[in-house]
């Protein structure tokens, strides 16, 4: 993981670079006279020399996805350097000419995996997968200070704990968040995490987060957030707990769902595309169905159903239906109509979704590419960065590793389906059955119980419960 700027004394220019997956952010502002670069947007705002007029694509992107997609920000004068890119800017170039080059592209990496097909047995596949995971763990455990692991009851973080043990880490330290509101529900991960920690001999700590903690921290949290996001609150509090425990470095299981197909999208999107593809051949059918059904459906169920025929026949469109927060036709309900038109035009969302997996044919790989870019990269990694940096924590992600990614994609291309359970079967000491058989729940927080007014009633009872939270977050940034 890296983001850096180098001044080339000989060529009199700046070279900006960002790591392949975008683990570290990098923003720049260029007014034609001065190039300013920082790891946070707010650092560039302090100069007072940056164009801070609203960037329509940034505002529309937030309500469309729940985060601001690269390369946009909320401001016209500030841009994010895309992941896996370098940017060259020469001194004295007042015309604003900048040369950007991509050195890593997920779609190209996936398609190149098919060039090295080989026939291997399942036992060989298992050994190669274990070796790949162990190699990444070895590299991520290099440190001159104690390392902690953020432990939930999910397969990703529990596998990290077990593999860290296999890699020779004997002084394991694990941290889990607990919420009283989740006690005796499937979202309560504390007891199972304690069981995992005990099995692998870890020094474990459960940090209980109360409503009062959230209320007291909301100001610093929003300041640290830098750009609006509907996620990251959990990362903020677990990083805070790690800092208070005396840790400076921690590992996260982020990336496992994207790499090993842990999301329901990996099954649901291909099924949706296969079922709806025939309707794509009928001109204007999808738009007509949406036009007449949307005003009715929004009162009874998710308004996304109105877009099934219009978007569900392609992988990009189906992904927008699955991951999108507000649908394109709903955006004028929360933003100025002119801003929406301009922002939607700038975003080119459907074209960019298509480009994300250009040349990729395998359904699993198509969903993998979309999840890695539009969710993991644009939201999860950026949220993890601001949340950890707010507490001077270095957060490492062993499952978001270029070498591991290449090895896993090549194994999948040999014909094996590498699921989360396959990943979880690699440690020498097996994970507890309670973890292996636990239903996936995600890492959630009871924000609806903590902030008054963020109840299902605000979203019409239609299953769009994140929308009130998104509107609240968006309002805080507009009022800032």
Query: pLDDT value at position 98?
Result: 77
Tell me which of 75, 104, 133 is where a domain ends: 104
pLDDT, tens digit, 9 for 90 and up, residues 304-341: 999 999 999 999 999 999 999 999 999 999 999 999 99
Task: Indicate if 166 and 253 belong to the same structural domain.
Answer: yes
Q: Does residue 336 fall inside a structural domain?
A: no
Query: pLDDT value at position 117?
Result: 62
**Burial class of 343 by CB neighbour count within 10 A (0 to 12, 13 to 18, 19+):** buried
Query: pLDDT value at position 462?
Result: 41
Two structure tokens written together for 110: 């996936």
Q: Does residue 277 fall inside a structural domain?
A: no
CATH code, domain with 234: 3.40.50.620
Report the relative pairing of strands 203-208 and 249-251 from DSSP bridges: unpaired
> Cα 100 to chain center, whole Å?
23
Task: Indicate if 74 and 167 belong to the same structural domain.
Answer: no
Q: Does residue 417 fall inside a structural domain?
A: yes
DSSP state of 438: P
Strands of 85-90's sheet, edge to edge?
3-8, 13-18, 85-90, 99-102
- Residue 233 pLDDT > 50: yes
Distance between first and last Cα of the chain: 31
Task: Indicate if 144 and 63 belong to the same structural domain.
Answer: no
Query: pLDDT value at position 115?
Result: 64
Task: Indicate if 85 and 116 belong to the same structural domain.
Answer: no
Task: Indicate if 44 and 76 belong to the same structural domain.
Answer: yes
- Contacts of 341 by beta carbon, 8 Å cutoff, 6+ apart: none
Task: Indicate if 236 and 373 belong to the same structural domain.
Answer: yes
- Residue 461 pLDDT > 50: no
Q: Does residue 151 fall inside a structural domain?
A: yes
Task: Indicate if 35 and 92 belong to the same structural domain.
Answer: yes
Task: Indicate if 254 and 131 belong to the same structural domain.
Answer: yes
Two structure tokens written together for 384: 């993890």
- The Cα–Cα gap between 224 and 404 comes to 30
pLDDT, tens digit, 9 for 90 and up, residues 83-125: 999 999 988 765 556 789 999 999 999 998 766 666 889 999 9
Query: pLDDT value at position 463?
Result: 41
Cα distances (Å, whole numbers) of residue 354 to 319, 349, 478: 10, 9, 31
Q: Does residue 309 fall inside a structural domain?
A: no
Full residue range of the structural domain in which residue 89 is found: 3-104
Query: pLDDT value at position 7?
Result: 94
Task: Indicate if 60 and 145 belong to the same structural domain.
Answer: no
Task: Indicate if 141 and 32 belong to the same structural domain.
Answer: no
- The Cα–Cα gap between 409 and 386 comes to 29
Tell me which of 82, 104, 126 is where a domain ends: 104
CATH code, domain with 66: 3.60.20.10
- The Cα–Cα gap between 413 and 417 comes to 9
> 367 in helix, strand or coil?
helix
Q: Does residue 127 fall inside a structural domain?
A: yes
Q: Does residue 334 fall inside a structural domain?
A: no
CB 151 within 8 A of CB 247: no
Rounded mean pLDDT, 336-359: 97
Rg from Cα positions in the chain? 23
Q: Does residue 200 fall inside a structural domain?
A: yes
**Total structural domains within the chain:** 2
- The Cα–Cα gap between 180 and 85 comes to 43
Query: pLDDT value at position 348?
Result: 98
Tell me which of 46, 81, 104 is where a domain ends: 104
């Amino acid at each position: 993981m890296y983001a850096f700027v180098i001044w080339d004394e000989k060529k009199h220019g700046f070279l900006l670079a960002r790591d392949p997956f975008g683990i570290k952010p990098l923003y720049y502002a260029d007014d034609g006279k001065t190039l300013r670069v920082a790891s946070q947007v707010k650092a560039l705002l302090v100069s007072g020399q940056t164009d801070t007029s609203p960037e329509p694509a940034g505002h529309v992107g937030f309500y469309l996805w729940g985060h601001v997609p690269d390369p946009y920000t909320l401001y016209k004068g500030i841009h994010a350097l895309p992941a896996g890119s370098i940017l060259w800017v020469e001194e004295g170039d007042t015309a604003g000419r900048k040369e950007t080059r991509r050195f890593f592209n997920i779609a190209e990496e996936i398609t190149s995996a098919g060039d090295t097909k080989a026939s291997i047995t399942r036992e060989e596949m298992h050994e190669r997968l274990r070796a790949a995971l162990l190699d990444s763990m070895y590299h991520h455990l290099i440190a001159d200070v104690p390392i902690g692991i953020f432990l939930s009851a999910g397969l990703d973080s529990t596998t990290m704990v077990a593999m860290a043990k296999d890699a020779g880490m004997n002084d394991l330290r694990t941290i889990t968040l607990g919420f009283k509101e989740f006690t005796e529900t499937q979202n309560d991960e504390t007891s199972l995490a304690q069981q995992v920690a005990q099995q692998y001999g870890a020094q474990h700590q459960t940090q209980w987060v109360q409503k009062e903690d959230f209320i007291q921290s909301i100001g610093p949290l929003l300041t640290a957030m830098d750009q609006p996001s509907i996620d990251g609150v959990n990362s903020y509090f677990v990083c805070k707990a790690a800092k208070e425990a005396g840790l400076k470095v921690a590992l996260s299981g982020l990336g496992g769902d994207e790499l090993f197909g842990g999301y329901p999208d990996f099954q649901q999107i291909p099924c949706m595309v296969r079922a709806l593809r025939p309707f794509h051949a009928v001109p204007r059918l999808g738009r007509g169905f949406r036009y007449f059904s949307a005003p009715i459906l929004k009162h009874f169920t998710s308004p996304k159903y109105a877009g099934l025929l219009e978007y569900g026949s392609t992988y990009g469109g189906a992904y927008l239906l699955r991951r999108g927060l507000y649908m394109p036709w709903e955006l004028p309900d929360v933003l100025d109509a002119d801003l929406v038109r301009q922002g939607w035009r700038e975003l080119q969302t459907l074209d960019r979704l298509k480009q994300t997996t250009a040349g990729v044919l395998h359904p699993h790989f198509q969903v993998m590419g979309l999840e890695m870019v539009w969710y993991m990269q644009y939201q999860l990694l950026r949220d993890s960065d601001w949340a950890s940096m707010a507490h001077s924590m270095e957060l490492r992600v062993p499952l978001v590793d270029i070498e591991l990614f290449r090895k896993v994609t090549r194994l999948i291309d040999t014909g094996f389906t590498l699921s989360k359970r396959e990943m979880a079967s690699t440690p020498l000491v097996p994970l507890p059955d309670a973890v292996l058989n636990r239903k996936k729940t995600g890492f959630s927080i009871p924000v609806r119980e903590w902030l008054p007014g963020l109840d299902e009633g605000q979203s019409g009872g239609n299953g769009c419960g994140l929308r009130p939270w998104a509107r609240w977050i968006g309002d805080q940034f507009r009022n800032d």
